[in-house]
Amino acid sequence: MTRIAIIVVAGTLVAGLASAQATQAPPSAPSNRAAGAPAFAAKKLTRAEFDALRANPSRLLVVDVRRPDELTSIGGFPAYLSIQAAELEKSLAWIPKDRTIVTVSNHAARAGRAADLLTKNGFTVAGAIGAQDYEAEGGTLVKLAPPAPRPASN
């Protein structure tokens, strides 16, 4: 399967990077955490907390760790960097360190683990948010259309 890291601004794809590797996540090890406790240390942000961070976009980087099909079927935020969770560690070198980061997944589980990885590697991370949780709290997501297929070259 092809994985794509894309940058989207106001619902428009503006840049991309693809690699051909499977998107299988490694099995998780058993944990000693309490039932119902998040499997990550990062703060799970509320809609209000995330909206407050979005009020200063020049200092914020939203990193969405979902698959492209999740982005197009569920929607996302107007401007973000898309790096699938399985590719995040390999992509650390080109993620800017001069901004506060919020990670995004559907319900913040993958985003929380991504936030922990970024924090461990010296990034400033405000927390993680689930796009579907944000929408359930009254927030509005941008519905993204996949790019049109390129014409075949002869």
Reading the chain (154 residues) residue by residue, the pLDDT tens digits are 334 444 544 443 333 333 323 333 344 444 445 556 568 999 999 999 999 999 999 999 999 999 999 999 999 998 899 999 999 999 999 999 999 999 999 999 999 999 999 999 999 999 999 999 999 999 999 988 777 888 887 6
| Residue 29 Cα distances to 26, 37, 39, 113, angstroms | 9, 15, 11, 13
User: Can you tell me whether residue 104 is helix, strand or coil?
Assistant: strand
Q: For residue 87, give the DSSP letter.
A: G
CA 101 to chain centre: 10
Q: Which domains does the chain have, with CATH numbers?
A: 2-19+40-136 (3.40.250.10)
pTM exceeds 0.85 for this model = no
The set of residues, in sequence order, having a beta carbon less than 8 Å from that of 105 and lying 6+ positions away, is 64, 65, 66, 85, 111, 112, 114, 128, 130, 131
Phi, psi at residue 97, to the nearest 5°? -100, 0
Task: Give the closest residue to 26 by CA, choosing from 110, 121, 101.
Answer: 110
Question: Do 110 and 38 meet the contact criterion of CB atoms below 8 Å apart?
Answer: no
Pairing state of beta strands 79-82 and 100-105? Answer: unpaired
